[in-house]
Amino acid sequence: MRLKMRALVAIIALAVPLAGCNTTSNGPASTPEPPSSPTETSTAAEGSSSQPSPVPSSPADSTPITIEIDGGTVTGTLSGNATARSLIGQLPLTLSFRDYGGQEKIAELPEALSLDGVPAGASAEPLTIGYYAPDQALVLYYERVAYSRGIVRIGSFHDLAAIQDQTSGFNARLAPAN
């Protein structure tokens, strides 16, 4: 009996320090997100906000756009990074979007966008316009997506329901706003 008790105590003594270790990977989304700016660091420390926070951009380097879907218009803004500027150079575009994962609408672009000077990955909040480099795809996020390599935030749009409520594939025309 004493031998069994000692063995049990030894197993518990070894198991407790290892209990916090987890080598299971949930894919790219499980990668902790590195803060990209002091603002993101302080926002994360303050807790989550009830309002989604789209990509910050200063008005001087952003470009207003329209996204026309089924006779309606959603407004948006593209930031001033190289990837967004590369998309602006392709506008106007009509793209075929489909739902992906119950969190985003995604459409393949005719040409790859520039990745000069952008981070290798990012997370995306609802209302974010993004580029997913591995699939050469434009993405309209309507749910939060955790950090993943290949996501580049390039702007924001202003009507969550107009995007989220699209239940099947749809065509959208993106153009610079007048």
pLDDT at 27: 32
Q: What band does 59 get if pLDDT is binned at 50, 70 and 90?
A: low
Distance of alpha carbon 78 from alpha carbon 130, whole angstroms: 10
Residue 3 is predicted with a pLDDT of 52
Residue 7 lies in a domain: no
In a domain, 40, yes or no: no
According to DSSP, the residues that pair with 141 across neighbouring strands are 104
Q: Is residue 18 part of a domain?
A: no
Q: Is residue 49 included in any domain, yes or no?
A: no
DSSP β-bridge partners for residue 65: 76, 176
CA distances (Å), origin 18, targets 22, 86, 114: 8, 48, 44
Residue with tokens 């603002």: 39
Per-residue CA distances from 162 to 69, 71, 158, 159 (Å): 8, 11, 9, 6
Considering the domain boundaries, does residue 59 fall inside one?
yes
Tell me, what amino acid is at 91? L
2 in a domain, yes or no? no
Mean pLDDT of the chain: 78
Q: Is 81 helix (H, G, I), strand (E, B) or coil?
A: coil
| pLDDT confidence tier of residue 168, bands split at 50, 70 and 90 | confident
Q: Which pLDDT score is estimated for 60?
A: 62
Per-residue pLDDT at 93 exceeds 90: yes
Where is pLDDT greater, at 157 or 70? 157
The token duo for 42 is 């302080």
Question: Within a domain: residue 99?
Answer: yes
Domain containing 142 equals 54-176
Confidence band of 7 (pLDDT split at 50, 70, 90) = low
- Does residue 169 sit within a domain? yes
Q: What is the pLDDT of residues 18-36, one digit of tens each?
A: 444 433 333 333 334 444 3
Domain count across the chain: 1
Domain with residue 152: its CATH number is 2.40.100.20
Element (H, E) at 160: helix 160-164
User: pTM of the entire structure?
Assistant: 0.69
Band of the pLDDT at 61, cuts 50, 70, 90?
confident
